[in-house]
Structure 1
Amino acid sequence: MADLFTTVVTSPLAKRAGVPQPTQLRRYTPGGPLIEGPVLLAGGGRFEKSLRVRLDEAGVAVVSAADDTEDRLGALILDLSAALDPTELAQLRTIGAPAVKRLAKNARVVVIGTDSATLTDVTEVVTQRALEGFSRSLAKELRLGATGNLVLAQGEAHDGVWSAVEFLLSGRSAYVDGQVVRVGDTAGTNQESVKPLAGKVAVVTGAARGIGAEIARVLARDGATVVAVDIPAAGEALARVANEVKGTALQVDVTAPGAGAAIVDHATQRHGAIDIVIHNAGITRDRLFVNLDEDRWDSVIDVNLRSILRMNEAILGEGGLGRGGRIVCLSSIAGIAGNRGQTNYGASKAGVIGLVTALATQVKDRGITVNAVAPGFIETEMTARIPFATREMGRRINSLQQGGLPKDVAETIAWLSQPGAAAVTGQVVRVCGQSWLGA
């Protein structure tokens, strides 16, 4: 989405003056290569061997050192999951520094470690915990659209680690930067690479426009049959989205007492099942706290938080979401870092994070995963109405120095919805270009 700042800084005069240029990010195209350029895989961790096999199967050239190829590196994967002592962290520098100098535009850096919560030895905990500070810091130094992220494994999580690494290498993760993804040892399910959601029925609330509409499009592109849900007042736009994705539309207010039952009935009667639920519907009613009236407070909490609790009673009840189902909720960096004039919104989105954390444990034995995506500054009709100075600041205060697109949020949700992501649950993935707020 064009804006005045981008127009100015990308002008010929600004380029000649040496003004840093925003990089056009590499985004996912079905059937395209996983990564552009060879991948340096090293570190001696317990996942290195299986990752090498998976990368080879994906048609990716793998090297063991930066000077093993004359080409720019498409990615650097450092597997330090077996590191037991801080002295072993030196590999981050000895292997990583030469490789980072050789990274191509839109490259990826993925560090793999062991979740320190699964360790008891103090030295091992210190060593593994250090990887988070390193990864977040390095991500802030990368340039030209490159991203850096950390995958922390619990146990021998080979399937889960591969699912996370594959996502982070791909164009799906274009606006995911400086994040920590924890994966359990649940085995993933094999899936078709271009249509990983084939045969799945996905419900998307708030699907009539904006991020919700893009979620519906991406899920449909990946093979899912989509039930697009929104309020009756948005019926015309909702019908257009449903027709576009060849799904069905359901007009219902998510705050209505029977909304959850209506969703389950529609999905099961029209499509035979319900496999994925995306709780995207949400509103803002911004005002400074001292001027916040009862209606603005109650409406935001009711739509953004309480409606999910009520709908989940039916969705997780008999005849609802089946074994191995997926629930993904929309949170926000406002729920992590807070935002002026959004005490009601921040409270609701922090509540969503609490919901995800608690519910993931309760439904784990049913093979159901529950996760959240927390967008940062995303280019939508709503953000286009933000005052100029505030909008430009929102776009620039992240490591990628630009706003994200609705597709970036949708791609992360689609990954969390995949059968292969069975080992990722109770997580909050920020899609914010590593926003400087809440990092």
Structure 2
Amino acid sequence: MSDRYASFAHTGPGRALVRRLGLPDPPRLRRHRPGDPLIHGPVRLDAAPGGRLVDPVGKILTVAGVEVADRTAAAPPDQGPYGALVYDATGITDSTGLRALFDFFHPLARALRPSGRVIVLGTPPELCASPREATAQRALEGLTRSIGKEFGRGSTAQLVLVAPGAERAVESTLRFLLSGRSAYVSGQVVRITPAEVPEVDWERPLAGRIALVTGAARGIGAKVAEVLADDGAHVVALDVPAAGDALAEVANTVGGTAVQLDLTAPEAAHRLADHLADRHGRVDIVVHNAGITRDRTLGRMTSDWWDAVLEVNLVGQERINDVLLDRDLLPTGGRLVGVSSIAGIAGNRGQTNYATSKAGVIGLVHSMAAPLAARGITVNAVAPGFIETRMTAKMPVMLREAGRRMNSMAQGGLPVDVAQTIAWFASPGSAGVTGNVVRVCGQSLLGA
């Protein structure tokens, strides 16, 4: 589905009209293309005194082939343009130290390229040594969310909270957030825990892994299957029998296999587990993408509609997880990824069933992170905002335009934006990334 307003705004007459009337100005986003460098332009890296991450991050960037600007040199305000600004704030131990953030970002606010990246590194407040340090570290969230709304031109800003001992587990997250893969992710807080990270082939990080994608016949699910396959995974694409032709096309396109199965059917989880055990002996990545909507205000909703949405969007996921875990089909190093929604964060009129199910996905991530970590398995979720799909194409035009414009990017996201975020969660390099719910919404104003 095309965004005609954005296409017009990118023309000469369109740009002039947008500026004159103060209309939303959708930037051209830098999305990943094969062969692209990790980041365009040098990275300015600096730290508050005592920062524990600046040196390991500098080494990661250098090995990744990124040009790191000399942080010891006095940089004039107009130096740049930089591809990214990365600041290690772990050395800030009380609120007076927050002035260091102003001193770093103020002279560089206009030195960032279009679609540039801002990353602030901090310590999880609950792991800080004192209440004052925890207070200062919590303040970083307000900074990064505001920068995401201020810097514009397709730039993004994120806060990465790295637990002590997790310094070597940050590479996968840095690579994702600096690259074009995170084009529609902004204003997010990512937490990284200590973990053993294997050697990773960053060109094909999922080589040799088996990935199950539910709801794979179309839309976001089909794109997830494609991206995971591009990263090297063998994809088991699953959808209902009614979508069999489309599902077969997806599976053939990505070189995977198709499974026609209604996950609400009795014994569906066991039948799926039998298939995975017989064909592959395991499943390394499970992406719970299957979902439905049955929209109506709560007072007018039928019990059947309520039950159907909860069954597909949440209860079915729990059943599959339970069976796969009980039968040890998800091994150490496994990845569970759920698809939530900003409706599960902010709620949505006429979608009480859907919002309840998607909030439940967030609850699943938070409740399962610790017990799964003991088995070496991560669990995370994406929460998409307005994504250009056939479903959003059917929305009333005013609601559709509001969904597109009410975010820092002034445009809708694409299925590939969700898929790339899932691929980051699925990477073996993301062993320390668990218990996270990351919004893929262009920093939507809803639930902000």
- Sort the TM-score into its range (normalised by shorter chain): over 0.9
Q: Which residue of 1 aligns with 2:56?
A: 50
1:7 CA displacement: 4.2
1:340 CA displacement: 1.0
On the 8 A contact 2:56/2:168 being kept in 1, the answer is no
SS of the equivalent of 1:95 reads: helix
Q: Counterparts of 2:35 and 2:167 in 1: how far apart (Å)?
A: 24
- Alignment CA distance shift 1:67-1:263 (3 Å): farther
Among 323, 327, 340, which residue is 1:318 paired with?
327
- Map Cα deviations across residues 394-428 of structure 1 (whole Å, 9 max, x no partner): 00000111100000000000000011101111110
Q: Which residue of 1 aligns with 2:149?
A: 140
On the 8 A contact 1:47/1:79 being kept in 2, the answer is yes
SS of the equivalent of 2:170 reads: helix
On the 8 A contact 1:172/1:411 being kept in 2, the answer is yes
Q: TM-score, normalised by structure 1?
A: 0.97
1:82 CA displacement: 1.8
Q: Counterparts of 2:324 and 2:281 in 1: how far apart (Å)?
A: 14
Among 323, 329, 337, which residue is 2:338 paired with?
329
Among 29, 37, 56, which residue is 2:41 paired with?
37
On the 8 A contact 1:264/1:274 being kept in 2, the answer is no
Q: Which residue of 1 aligns with 2:5?
A: 5
**1:353 and 2:362 aligned:** yes
Structure 2 residue identity aligned to 1:181: V
On the 8 A contact 2:118/2:158 being kept in 1, the answer is yes
On the 8 A contact 1:66/1:102 being kept in 2, the answer is no
Among 376, 389, 411, which residue is 1:402 paired with?
411
- Map Cα deviations across residues 252-301 of structure 1 (whole Å, 9 max, x no partner): 01112322222222223223321000000000000111111111111001
- Map Cα deviations across residues 221-257 of structure 1 (whole Å, 9 max, x no partner): 0000000000011011000000000000001011123
Q: Counterparts of 1:381 and 1:255 in 2: how far apart (Å)?
A: 23
1:20 CA displacement: 5.1
**1:28 and 2:32 aligned:** yes
Among 212, 227, 238, which residue is 1:203 paired with?
212
Structure 1 residue identity aligned to 2:390: E
Please list, as runs of the form range in 1=range in 2, the aligned pairs for 1:377-396 lying within 5 A after superposition: 377-396=386-405
Q: What stretches of structure 2 of length at least 5 have no aligned partner? A: none
Q: Counterparts of 2:118 and 2:371 in 1: how far apart (Å)?
A: 34
On the 8 A contact 2:210/2:234 being kept in 1, the answer is yes
RMSD: 1.5
Q: Which residue of 2 aligns with 1:432?
A: 441
SS of the equivalent of 1:363 reads: helix
Q: Counterparts of 2:302 and 2:327 in 1: how far apart (Å)?
A: 39
Q: Counterparts of 1:68 and 1:395 in 2: how far apart (Å)?
A: 34
Q: Which residue of 1 aligns with 2:187?
A: 178
- Alignment CA distance shift 1:142-1:69 (3 Å): closer
1:120 CA displacement: 4.5
Q: Name the stretch that deviates more: 205-214 or 88-97.
A: 88-97
SS of the equivalent of 2:374 reads: helix
On the 8 A contact 1:201/1:267 being kept in 2, the answer is no
Q: Name the stretch that deviates more: 251-260 or 368-377.
A: 251-260
On the 8 A contact 1:40/1:66 being kept in 2, the answer is no
Q: Counterparts of 1:14 and 1:268 in 2: how far apart (Å)?
A: 56
SS of the equivalent of 1:87 reads: helix
Among 243, 263, 287, which residue is 2:252 paired with?
243
Q: Counterparts of 1:140 and 1:384 in 2: how far apart (Å)?
A: 26
On the 8 A contact 1:23/1:144 being kept in 2, the answer is yes
- Alignment CA distance shift 1:122-1:205 (3 Å): same
Structure 1 residue identity aligned to 2:45: L
**1:344 and 2:348 aligned:** no
Q: Name the stretch that deviates more: 113-122 or 201-210.
A: 113-122
**1:275 and 2:279 aligned:** no
Q: Which residue of 2 aligns with 1:61?
A: 67
Q: Which residue of 2 aligns with 1:169?
A: 178
Structure 1 residue identity aligned to 2:304: D
Among 100, 107, 112, which residue is 2:121 paired with?
112
1:363 CA displacement: 1.4
Structure 1 residue identity aligned to 2:90: S
On the 8 A contact 2:78/2:108 being kept in 1, the answer is no
Among 183, 186, 196, which residue is 1:187 paired with?
196
- Map Cα deviations across residues 129-167 of structure 1 (whole Å, 9 max, x no partner): 110111111111121100000000111211322222221
Q: Name the stretch that deviates more: 264-273 or 213-222.
A: 264-273
1:11 CA displacement: 4.5
On the 8 A contact 1:31/1:194 being kept in 2, the answer is no
Q: Counterparts of 1:410 and 1:286 in 2: how far apart (Å)?
A: 25
1:42 CA displacement: 0.2
Q: Counterparts of 1:5 and 1:398 in 2: how far apart (Å)?
A: 15
Q: What stretches of structure 1 of length at least 5 have no aligned partner? A: none
Q: Which residue of 1 aligns with 2:223?
A: 214
Structure 1 residue identity aligned to 2:6: T
Q: Which residue of 1 aligns with 2:235?
A: 226
Q: Counterparts of 2:223 and 2:90 in 1: how far apart (Å)?
A: 36
Q: Counterparts of 2:141 and 2:79 in 1: how far apart (Å)?
A: 30
1:66 CA displacement: 4.4
Q: TM-score, normalised by structure 2?
A: 0.95
Structure 2 residue identity aligned to 1:13: P
